[in-house]
Structure 1
Amino acid sequence: MKIRVLAILSVISVLIVVTVSSVILTSAGRELTQELQINRVTSLNRFAQLANDASSDNDTTQLQREMDRYSELYGEGILVRLQQQTVRSGDLSEDRAEVRDALNRASLNLSDTTLSPIRPFGSGTEVISRSFGTASQVLGEAVLEVNPEAAREKLRERWLVVGLAAVALGALLLLAAARITGWVLRPVHRLSLAVHELETTGKTSHLPDAGPPELRELSRSFTAMANTVTESIDSQRQLIADTSHELRNPVGALRLRIDLLQLALKSEPEKAAAAGVVAELERVEAILDGVLKLATAEHRAFEGSTRADQEAEHKHHSVIDPFPILQGEVERAMPAAERAGSVITLAQPEQPLHLACNPDELAHMVGELLTNAIKYAPGSRITVATNQTEGGLAVEVSDDGPGLSAEQRTASTTRFWRAPQHSKISGNGLGMTIVDRLAQANDAELVLEGRQPHGLTARLEFRQPSGGKDG
């Protein structure tokens, strides 16, 4: 947008400069033309008067002397045709067509003393003429050659001065246009970034009170609205976390009562009914645990949501070797994998690799991914590996199980979403959501891809750490 506005202002500035320069240069040309014309007409009138006196006295000596002196001084020819003879100086001759035309018009008592407008890069000379004599009789004609080269030189100098001034003015106008455009559009750009930030993170940084009054008021209104939205989101998230935490006490008390009740039950139907209640209670406990973990993960994802906070958070993360953490999670998942008939393989990297991440949260993410692979792909071969990527490092957990379709992979990070084919497997649909939020909190991205010929690959992509290992 800034480029488009600046382009329009630049065109307007150029038009202003060109218009002003054209007016100044046209006026300068007209001024020099008038100045030259007045000067030469005065000289022509003087020679006409001298010629008239010479015609009366029949003595052209004074006339010839004055004409020669003028031609020598200005380099312009003069031709005076009397009734008895023709007097000339310089290179002016009646052999030239324009001189003959001027003499013919003057013989008809038609004076021609108008010069064409001077152009800076023209060439050639012009002639002006007039007759002299009495009121009733033309005694002769005087023709004066006009060489406007000196005036052209002056006009070229003025063109140069005006051109330099136009360039300076144009540069000044463009600079002013750039400053004004930046002053007006900078708050709009900040507002656009703030809207995107609010949309993606639920938070936004405070907009500076800058720019035109209307945009300052808009920035203040948006900041107030964004604060309200952020407070509402935080309140909802806190409500979910508090509710989940508070429900754990009554659920724990309910479990204790059911355990005591089971001790008093004698018949098998009663025990079966109690077992069903316990199973549902365990499901509720799993959901509460998942909601608490999700609330913590979302809080981590949002607490460093602004650009400045993201940079500070990234610096705060420890630069660690992920292999020992992956090794610990694989060992922890081994018993469950053996019960499900799965085999877990941990790929040893060729050289130590490092990434910027919270160690506990990396362990949590890898543990969730291993749990999902064991639960939803029983009997499969599960591989855990770290790979160097162009932008950093990736931690992969892949299996050769049934996998998920492209649409299911897209929806898998939605809260409480579960694939239809997994409806009979216990779970709360929060595991992948928690991993996705924790990845965001660690400046990483969770990518789910299909594996050939079948299976699923969950990859945590971390950007390259900027620094050495941080203990």
Structure 2
Amino acid sequence: MKLRVLGILSVLVLLLVLLVSNVILSSAGREVTQQLQINRAASLNRIAQLAYDAANDGDSTVLRRDMETYSGLYSEGLVVRLQTGTLASGGLDPERPDVREALGRASLNLADTTLDPVRPFGTGNEVISRSFGSASQVLGEVVMEVNLDAARDKLRYRWLVTAIAAIALAAVLLLLAGRVTGWVLRPVQRLGAAVREFKDTGHTPPLPEAGPPELRELSRSFTDMATTLGELIDSQRQLIADTSHHLRNPIGALRLRVDLLLLELRNEKERAAGAGVLAELERVEEILDSVLRLAVAEHRVIEDSAGASPEVSEGPGSGSVNAFVVLAEEVDRARPAALAAGSDLVLTTQEDPGAELACSRIELAQMLGELLNNAIKYAPGAQITASVRTRGSATLIEIADTGPGLEPEQLAAATTRFWRAPEHSSIRGTGMGMTIVDRLATANGGRLVLAPNEPNGLRARIEFDAAPTLPGQGEAS
């Protein structure tokens, strides 16, 4: 943004400098031309007066001497045509076409003492002319060759001075434009960075109050807003965690009372009703547990966005872990449940499965356990394959099943809180398992990718790239 604004200001500055320089140079050219014209017109009038005197006296000695003196002093030729003959000095040829034309105009009593504007890089000389005589009779004509070299040198010097001044002025104005642009846009850039940081982390440090008064007020307002929203987000997150935690005790007590009540029930109808109450109570416990784990996962995403390392946030469960070892442990842990559901759980890998990840071991195990449990729960009797492989610099951990899978439009909604596929409504669950895996994967620099498994089923893959990636950028393959 700064470069765009500075580019526009630079163009305007250069146009302004060129405009001012053009006005100054045009004025200088007119001034030099006017000075030369006034000077030469005065000299022409003086020679014309001497020629008039010579025509009346019949003696051109003084005229000839003054003509030679003038030509030697200014290196400019003169031609004076009298009724008795033509006088020339400075090597000016009376038969030269422009001189002959000037003499013809002067003989008609048409004075021509106007010079064309002097150009700094032009060539050649000009001639001016006038007649002399009485009011009723033209006695002769005077033609003067005007040497423009000295005027051109003077004008070139002025051009050089003006060019140097224009370059200096442009440099100063560009420097000022850069300073002003930085002064105005720096608060805007800080505000943009703070907005992005707040979007990613939910927190942002107070913005310095700099720049124009309007931007200082905007920075103060944003800081106040960010502080308030950050406190609300923290309060909401803490409320969820505290609620989930503190409800455990009364729910535990309620479960104990229900268990005692079940012991007192005598007939099948009463025991069935009590079992229903117990099932709903267990569902509440499961939801609370999922909410608490989701709150922790989302908090980890915030920590990761804010730059906190897993070692700092997780302690002993963090660091470099072997993905295959963790996956093998989770497969062994889930195998009994898979056998009970009639599923065939298989662990496959490449020749070298030892992909080391900068990831929390506890959270990686939690993610893999959740994916395995989902496959066992929603694909009973299916073939479930767990694998670790590498693709370039990326490490891919995949759980694939041959169950019913999800429709393409359902894959995008699978990581939404409390979302469950309509066909799974009869299966016990909270709808937060994939959400937790997605958040934890993001917190550890990975991403969750859900895709169909050919010819049928679901393939859930956690990708860990060499560089951290944003959530939701996975591709189905």
Q: Same fold (TM over 0.5)?
A: yes
The equivalent residue for 2:413 is: 411
User: Which deviations, in whole Å up to 9, do the C-alpha atoms of 1:154-187 show, x marking residues without a partner?
Assistant: 3233223323332332233233323322321232
- Structure 1 residue runs of 5 or longer lacking an equivalent are 467-471
The equivalent residue for 2:322 is: 321
User: Which deviations, in whole Å up to 9, do the C-alpha atoms of 1:40-94 show, x marking residues without a partner?
Assistant: 2233233223323433443334433443444345432210111101001234334
Specify the SS of the correspondent of 2:59: coil
Q: CA deviation at 1:145?
A: 0.7
The equivalent residue for 1:375 is: 377
CA separation of 1:189 and 1:465: change in aligned 2, threshold 3 A: closer
Trace 1:115-194 onto structure 2 (pairs within 5 A). 115-134=115-134, 137-194=137-194
Query: 8 Å contact 2:386–2:400 — kept in the other structure?
Result: yes
CA separation of 1:169 and 1:445: change in aligned 2, threshold 3 A: farther
Trace 1:189-204 onto structure 2 (pairs within 5 A). 189-204=189-204
Q: CA deviation at 1:344?
A: 2.5
The equivalent residue for 1:350 is: 352
Specify the SS of the correspondent of 1:122: coil
> Distance in 2 between the 1:179 and 1:93 partners?
63
> Distance in 1 between the 2:331 and 2:106 partners?
116
The equivalent residue for 1:330 is: 331
CA separation of 1:127 and 1:36: change in aligned 2, threshold 3 A: same
CA RMSD, 1 decimal: 2.7
- Structure 2 residue runs of 5 or longer lacking an equivalent are 469-477
Is residue 299 of structure 1 aligned with residue 272 of structure 2? no
> Distance in 1 between the 2:5 and 2:310 partners?
33
Trace 1:227-246 onto structure 2 (pairs within 5 A). 227-246=227-246
Query: 8 Å contact 2:389–2:396 — kept in the other structure?
Result: yes
Is residue 393 of structure 1 aligned with residue 426 of structure 2? no
The equivalent residue for 1:435 is: 437
> Distance in 1 between the 2:465 and 2:372 partners?
22
> Distance in 2 between the 1:51 and 1:347 partners?
118
Query: 8 Å contact 1:327–1:346 — kept in the other structure?
Result: no
User: Which deviations, in whole Å up to 9, do the C-alpha atoms of 1:243-263 show, x marking residues without a partner?
Assistant: 111111111111111222222
Q: CA deviation at 1:373?
A: 1.4
Q: Tell me the amino acid that sits aligned with residue 333 of structure 1.
A: A
Q: CA deviation at 1:137?
A: 4.2
Report which structure shows greater RCO (CA 8 Å, sep ≥6).
Answer: 1
User: Which deviations, in whole Å up to 9, do the C-alpha atoms of 1:195-218 show, x marking residues without a partner?
Assistant: 344344433343222221111111
Q: CA deviation at 1:270?
A: 2.0
The equivalent residue for 2:446 is: 444
Aligned length: 465
Is residue 19 of structure 1 aligned with residue 13 of structure 2? no
Is residue 252 of structure 1 aligned with residue 213 of structure 2? no
> Distance in 2 between the 1:315 and 1:243 partners?
22
The equivalent residue for 1:35 is: 35
User: Which deviations, in whole Å up to 9, do the C-alpha atoms of 1:394-443 show, x marking residues without a partner?
Assistant: 33222232221222111111111111111111111111111111122223
Q: CA deviation at 1:288?
A: 1.0
Q: CA deviation at 1:389?
A: 4.2
Query: Which segment drifts farther, 361-370 or 161-170?
Result: 161-170
Query: Which segment drifts farther, 141-150 or 345-354?
Result: 345-354
> Distance in 2 between the 1:13 and 1:312 partners?
54
User: Which deviations, in whole Å up to 9, do the C-alpha atoms of 1:283-323 show, x marking residues without a partner?
Assistant: 111111111111111111123434x5589979996233322
Identity over aligned pairs, percent: 61
Q: CA deviation at 1:459?
A: 2.2
What is the TM-score of this pair, normalised by structure 2?
Answer: 0.89
